[in-house]
Structure 1
Amino acid sequence: MTAPSIPHTPEDITADWLTDALRSSGVITTSSATSIDAGDTSAGHGFTGRIARLAVTYDSHEKEAPCSIIAKFPSYDPTIRAAVTDSAMSYEREIRCYENLIGSVALSTPRRYYSAHDPESSECILLLQDLAPARFGDNVGSPSREDIESAIRAIAGFHAEFWESPRLIEMDWLPEYAQDADARQRAFRQAIGPFLSTWGKYLRPSTIDLINRLGDSLARIRLQLSRPPRTVLHGDYRLDNLAFDESGRGPAVIDWQAPSIGRSVADMAYFIVYCIDPSERRALESELLKLYHSVLMEHGVGAYDFVSCMEDYRLSIAANMLRTVRVGGTFDYSGDRAQALLRTILHRVETALSDHRVAELV
């Protein structure tokens, strides 16, 4: 069957197009879509793209035919599209993750119904399982201890699955954590001005000084976090990208635009620092990192002691500032929820930078 053309917007998806797409990937075989109602779900949440929920009706019953589908598109904003392409994030990489990686691992993820990418135009589309009525985490809120530990166990198991695996060599489409480190350090320096012009008023002078100093040392730190032992990193492992249900299997993980190969604790530092309020983080941090390390050991990871884990955690707090500054200085955070999200993150990150004396590493 000839692959369907790629629609640019949710409104471009017709019943005939969806039928062809779902049949080409084997999701349906006998039924046909007859109508689609597209609702935008990305307002305030989909910073790097547009997300729509498609309510679909069919001409006949078929067990596997999805009545609700999540459709992901690139951003309409050319500035954001360029930033995604030029940064650690990539629309194409997310599609390749769903096609080649995450469908075969123990980590829970949405089912992929269809995907397509045109490298010449950079147009792409990803059709995914709607996880409703699962409960998504909230980066602005305060997670429960149960959710925190469930998320840590899930990502630790995923990291262990690819820990120094021969499969890493085969994943040549996944970048090294430090790929283009010098170029990204230059991009970080260029983003500092726009970032501080908007968000500097919320930061202490010592934090602003540290951000400026990172402009000369970020490449070195990211190179350190690219040395063995390595695994596959999610790259944006936070509560907004985790869906919890009552199954006890751990959260389903979405948003795979920023994966890479590097030291695993970069994901853990991102999750703990960006998702947990400082007072609770201080009380739980050591215990949570020990939990993470113990799950790695339970899955057969060796030759990675807890002292090394803590050293990598501290480095990762610094390294993750690349994303914070570039995203905060480029993407649209004008909505109320977006403003609350980044201000919450900045408070948490600033406190962690101070608590872990990250300035000593720069």
Structure 2
Amino acid sequence: MPQPVLRRCGGYLSDLVGVTLAWTAAHGGPTHAVLKASHVGFGREELPFYQAIAGRLNCPVVPQFFAGGTDEPTGRTWLLLEDLSGSHERPSEPPLPPTLARSTKLVEALAQFHAAGWDNAGWQEVGSTLWQRLRASEWLESATERLFGQAGDALDNRTRAMYGRFLHDFPTLVTRSEQLQGRTLVHGDAHVWNWMLPRDDTLDIPKLVDWDAWHIGIGVWDLAYMMALQWDREVRQRFENHLLDRYYAALAASGVSGYSREALQEDYRLAVLLHLRTPIARFSKGMSAYVWWPQLTRIQYAVEDLGCLELLS
């Protein structure tokens, strides 16, 4: 049964409470865990991920799940998960990006997760897909117009022209992305601060937390989200190719075959281009400009640096 609370942490989307567990008989269960309680309207996809997917995936990147449920009166979900506070730490203090060495560990672990679900036809019936989400973008053009109107002349003609071409070709780009190799499970919100790095690499591996945005997609979607959308241009330019190399090597080491480094590069470029949608989605959901404004700048730089506009008609 749960004993006195050790730690409590209130967050934007959920509350975390550290608990000590005492068992009435020899059980072999954990003695420490974290109780995660979602705020109303959040966490609805995380519980089924842990209940239906995590066990089948059997990937150590996913934190261990002990129990979970839904509080019917409030609709809040709760999860009892392994306590990482003693064994792991954040890769850096937000908004500072991690070092190259730490970022390398993250993308190698991300590749291990993607490889665990790579080209598994059994995932098709278990959740939504990236392409369903992208096609449900009837709001995209009007939201872009509203954002441009709010930003006024803070946005230059280059930005407006880029988005004009992107919106025109968006349906074709979605169809092209659906034909890419290597369907797998994706996290959907795999920025570096949703990772926990082991304090001792010899004892554990990185863990990926907060699974409310998981879906079926392509691994490069998570990579582009992590690097092209979240990192400033100078950091991304120095880290990007090395991290793509390490991601590819980790995929191969985890058993993925028939997927070339050149194909990874081209798939990544397409994913970066499609992520032009993401800051518009943040704006459309009413998120703070502190979130979507820097992402708007970063993703445009990435599109330019990688020659992604060549993919447009």
TM-score, scaled to structure 1: 0.72
Show the counterpart of 2:298.
348
Shift of 1:327: 1.7
Whether 1:105 aligns to 2:74 is: no
Query: How far apart, CA to CA, are the structure 1 residues paired with 2:175 and 2:94?
Result: 28
Shift of 1:122: 5.4
Whether 1:330 aligns to 2:295 is: no
Superposition CA RMSD, Å: 3.2
SS of 1:124's equivalent in the other structure is strand
Whether 1:206 aligns to 2:158 is: yes
Show the counterpart of 1:162.
117
Query: How far apart, CA to CA, are the structure 2 residues paired with 1:122 and 1:194?
Result: 33
Counterpart AA for 1:349: I
Q: Assess if the C-alpha contact under 8 Å between 1:200 and 1:208 holds in 2.
A: no
Query: How far apart, CA to CA, are the structure 1 residues paired with 2:29 and 2:129?
Result: 37
Shift of 1:286: 2.1
Report matched runs for 1:240-319 at 5 Å. 240-248=193-201, 249-319=204-274
Shift of 1:317: 0.6
Show the counterpart of 2:307.
357
Query: How far apart, CA to CA, are the structure 2 residues paired with 1:201 and 1:117?
Result: 47
SS of 1:274's equivalent in the other structure is coil
Shift of 1:154: 0.5
SS of 2:168's equivalent in the other structure is coil
SS of 1:293's equivalent in the other structure is helix
Query: How far apart, CA to CA, are the structure 1 residues paired with 2:266 and 2:109?
Result: 22
Mean CA deviation greater in 200-209 or 313-322: 200-209
SS of 1:217's equivalent in the other structure is helix
Q: Assess if the C-alpha contact under 8 Å between 1:198 and 1:329 holds in 2.
A: no
Show the counterpart of 1:52.
15
Distance 1:34 1:142, change over 3 A: closer
Q: Assess if the C-alpha contact under 8 Å between 1:176 and 1:226 holds in 2.
A: no
Question: Which one of the candidate residues 203, 220, 228 is aligned to 2:172?
Answer: 220
Distance 1:190 1:130, change over 3 A: farther
Show the counterpart of 1:28.
none
Q: Which runs of 4+ in 1 moved over 6 A?
A: 57-63, 118-121
Q: Unaligned regions of 5+ residues in structure 1, if any?
A: 1-31, 76-80, 85-90
Distance 1:165 1:120, change over 3 A: farther
SS of 1:266's equivalent in the other structure is helix
Question: Which one of the candidate residues 34, 48, 67 is aligned to 1:69?
Answer: 34
Distance 1:58 1:265, change over 3 A: closer
Show the counterpart of 1:232.
185
Distance 1:40 1:285, change over 3 A: closer
- Matched residues, number: 304
TM-score, scaled to structure 2: 0.82
Identity %: 21
Report matched runs for 1:18-167 at 5 Å. 32-33=1-2, 39-42=8-11, 46=12, 49=13, 51-56=14-19, 64=29, 69-75=34-40, 81=41, 91-103=43-55, 104-117=57-70, 123-133=76-86, 134-137=88-91, 138-167=93-122
Q: Assess if the C-alpha contact under 8 Å between 2:112 and 2:254 holds in 1.
A: yes
Distance 1:38 1:161, change over 3 A: closer
Q: Assess if the C-alpha contact under 8 Å between 1:175 and 1:260 holds in 2.
A: yes
Query: How far apart, CA to CA, are the structure 2 residues paired with 1:214 and 1:128?
Result: 41
Q: Assess if the C-alpha contact under 8 Å between 2:228 and 2:236 holds in 1.
A: yes
Query: How far apart, CA to CA, are the structure 2 residues paired with 1:165 and 1:311?
Result: 22
Query: How far apart, CA to CA, are the structure 2 residues paired with 1:253 and 1:199?
Result: 35
